Amino acid sequence: MSFTQEEQLNDIYNLILTSGTREWERTQLVSAKNALEDGADFSAELSKLEANLRPLAVRNNLTPDVAEFYLKLTGESVNEAADNRVVHSGDDPVYQERAIFAGGCFWCMVESFETMAGIVSVLSGYTGGHVAHPSYDQVSGGYTGHVEAVEIIFDTRIITYEELVALYWQITDPTDAFGQFQDRGSQYRPIIFVQDERQRQIAEDSKQQLIESGKYKQPIVTEIQTAETFWPAENYHQQFYKKQPKRYKQIKRSRQQFLTYQHLKGKVRTVLNKHKKTF
- Any idea which residues carry the catalytic annotation? 105
Cα separation, 101 vs 182, whole angstroms: 18
* Nearest of 205, 239, 198 to residue 85 by alpha carbon: 239
Instruction: Tell me which amino acid residue 73 is.
Output: L
Sign of CA dihedral 212, 214, 216, 218: positive
Burial of residue 222 (CB within 10 Å: 0-12, 13-18, 19+) is: buried
Residue 146 DSSP label = -
Cα distances (Å, whole numbers) of residue 120 to 44, 198, 249, 271? 47, 21, 24, 38
In 3-state terms, what secondary structure has residue 46? helix
